[in-house]
Amino acid sequence: PYTGTISISLTLAHLIFSLVSISLAASMAGELRSTSLFHLSQPLRRIEYSVSWLLSIAWLPSLLMALSLFVPLATFDPRLVLRVSFQPIYLRLVEDLLTFSIFCWAALSKRRGIVAFIGLFFVLILPYLTMVLMSLIFYVFYQGTNPPTLLLAAYEVLFPSTASTLFMGGIAQGVLDPMKASIGTLLILALTQGTYLIYFIRKFEVK
């Protein structure tokens, strides 16, 4: 009975905390462009700096987004929390973690404009544009109604929450279980964050 309300609340929370993440990433870009690099001469300092921004940009907004859905319910009636489906929240959390981690990479450009463009593009356009382009290209060149299985599987891994919502609406037919697809998302997330930390420590090393 609460599925519709949770879905709307999840979408709103996703948009709000996406803007928070983009704003924080823009702040990081501004710091890197100014004088902060003069204070990053020690390896430990670079690790602390990169990890703190990763936590602020990716993990904190994502976790707050998820918690923002449970706190009002728990305050009103704790029993309602047990009636909420955790899968949509988990899928949104995983997808946002991956997206927000990409904002950390965008911040390394040291340009707020690039961060804003990439942030808004990844949040508002890319998840839906990718599906439209896949369907359009496959239909035009292969005369099919749905993209091939491999492309759909890749889409579900990159956008598990969006894919689950679109496929539930009958726009396309999913090929992976959403929870299994999220395993691939977590692997890409670990790779994205790990390479970000390694790149930051080496790129901004003061010699």
- Taking the chain (207 residues) in consecutive chunks of 10 residues, what is each chunk's mean pLDDT? 67 95 96 71 77 97 89 68 81 97 96 97 94 81 70 92 78 76 97 96 71
pLDDT at 1: 45
Q: Which residues neighbour 194 within 8 Å (Cβ) at sequence distance 6 or greater?
A: none
Radius of gyration for the chain, computed over Cα atoms and rounded to the nearest angstrom: 19
| pLDDT in the model for residue 21 | 98
Write out the residue range of the structural domain in which residue 66 sits. 3-203
CA distance 33 to 28: 9
Query: What pLDDT does 3 receive?
Result: 55
Number of residues that make up the chain:
207
The position carrying tokens 């003069």 is 38
Q: Domain tally for the chain? A: 1
CB 191 within 8 A of CB 105: no
What is the reported pTM? Answer: 0.87
The residues, ordered by sequence, that sit 6+ positions from 184 with a Cβ below 8 Å of its Cβ are: 157
Q: Which residues contact 77 (CB under 8 A, 6 or more apart)?
A: none
